[in-house]
Amino acid sequence: MEKTHTAMLETATFGAGCFWGVEELFAHTQGVKDTAVGYMGGTKENPTYEDVCTDKTGHAEAVQVKYDPKEVLYEKLLNIFWENHDPTTPNRQGPDTGTQYRSVVFFHSKDQERIAKESKQKLEASGKHKKPVVTEIVPASTFWRAEEYHQRYLEKRGLSTCHS
Catalytic residues: 18
CA distance 144 to 133: 26
**What is the DSSP secondary-structure string of 28-95?**
TSTTEEEEEEEEES-SSSS--HHHHHTT-S-PEEEEEEEE-TTTS-HHHHHHHHHHTS-TTSTTEETT
